[in-house]
Structure formats: C-alpha cells, structure tokens
C-alpha cells in the first residue's frame, strides 16, 4: 500500500451532495492538527460535479463551515483502491461497495460502527427533507465522528 493510501479516508453516501460532504467537512474539522490524513467523499450513484444540497450548505454554515465549493464525485475503483478506509453511511452502501469491489471488503466500515455503545445503524438520507431533518443528520454524523477519529489516530497516527 502506498504512503498516500495509508492516510486516505473516503466517506461515501448515495449522491455525494448531503451526508458524505457533511461528514468530509466535519472530519476535516475534527482531525487533530498535524495529521496528514487525506479526506475525500464520493457517492455510489453520484453525478460528477453537482453542488452540495442547499440545506446541507445551510446547516454546515451554522457550524462555520462552507460547503459551497463542494462538487460531487462518483465512487470509482481508483478512489476505493487508494483509500486506507472507506466509511459509509448505510449498510446498503457497504454491501454495494463490497459487491462492486470485493477486494476492498476488509476496509469498508459503517460510520456508526466505531461507536462502542453499539449504535451502529444507518445514517438516514436527508435529501428532500426540511432544514431540521438536515440538522438532525448533521448532528448524527458529528456524534459518530469522535470514535472514528479515535480509530484513525490509533491506526494512522
């Protein structure tokens, strides 16, 4: 595995316009200073080049983050291959990635699976929901990131 792959974290959802861009932005903010993690996001069914959803941009701005520059990316074999870890929002995402890229099965994790409290369910898709639904999704992702960061610090330094 290359040095770049050793430090690459890929966050995946369906369209790469809501959950995974919010997770990418929040993880960048939560990453310890001085780490060389490469954090990216993609979508299983994403259309390349779309902006983050309006509500995702709005709820992230409440955290002082700017999602306006984000452009969606479709998940590719190259992205999966380069990643040290692929973190998905739902069990269905995990199964789709493992089905498409069986060699990556040991590095695909559900976002909530890092929480030792055992709450390893899916992060529901807020697309088409109200601003409050987006806030709930953002906060759910945010809560799930602390155990992921601990895992990454232990395994990536």
List of long-range contacts for 114-119, beta carbons under 8 Å, 24+ apart:
114/144, 114/147, 114/148, 114/150, 114/151, 115/144, 115/147, 116/147
Compute the average pLDDT of residues 4-23: 88
Rounded distance between C-alpha atoms, residue 120 and residue 90, angstroms: 9
Position 156 confidence tier, pLDDT thresholds 50, 70, 90: confident
| CATH label of the domain that carries residue 53 | 3.40.50.2300
What are the catalytic residues? 13, 19, 125
Question: Taking 80 as the threshold, does the pLDDT of residue 44 lie above it?
Answer: yes
Identify the weakest region by mean pLDDT among 5-9, 13-17, 42-46, 112-116.
5-9
Name residue 38's beta-bridge partners. 8
Question: Taking 90 as the threshold, does the pLDDT of residue 99 lie above it?
Answer: yes
pLDDT the model gives residue 35? 86
Question: Taking 60 as the threshold, does the pLDDT of residue 5 lie above it?
Answer: no
Compute the average pLDDT of residues 139-152: 93
Compute the average pLDDT of residues 14-23: 97
* Single pTM value for the model: 0.93
pLDDT the model gives residue 4? 43
Rounded distance between C-alpha atoms, residue 91 and residue 68, angstroms: 28
Q: What range does the domain containing 73 cover?
A: 3-156
Question: Taking 90 as the threshold, does the pLDDT of residue 6 lie above it?
Answer: no
In sequence order, what DSSP letters do the residues of 80-92 get, joined into one string? HHH-SEEEESSHH
The number of distinct structural domains making up the chain is: 1
Rounded distance between C-alpha atoms, residue 60 and residue 53, angstroms: 11
Selection from 57, 55, 20, 61 nearest residue 39 by Cα: 20
């Amino acid at each position: 595995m290359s040095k770049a792959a050793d430090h690459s974290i890929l966050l995946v959802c369906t369209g790469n316009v809501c959950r995974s861009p919010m997770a990418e932005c929040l993880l960048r903010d939560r990453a310890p200073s001085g780490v060389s993690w490469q954090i990216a996001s993609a979508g299983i069914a994403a259309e390349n080049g779309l902006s983050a959803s309006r509500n995702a941009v709005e709820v992230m701005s409440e955290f002082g983050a700017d999602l306006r520059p984000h452009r969606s990316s479709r998940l590719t074999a190259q992205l999966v291959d380069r990643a040290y870890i692929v973190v998905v929002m739902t069990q269905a995402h995990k199964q789709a990635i493992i089905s498409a890229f069986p060699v990556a099965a040991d590095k695909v994790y559900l976002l909530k699976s890092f929480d030792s409290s055992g709450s390893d369910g899916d992060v529901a898709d807020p697309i088409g929901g109200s601003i409050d639904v987006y806030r709930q999704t953002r906060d759910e992702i945010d809560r799930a990131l602390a155990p992921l960061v601990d895992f990454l610090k232990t395994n990536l330094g």
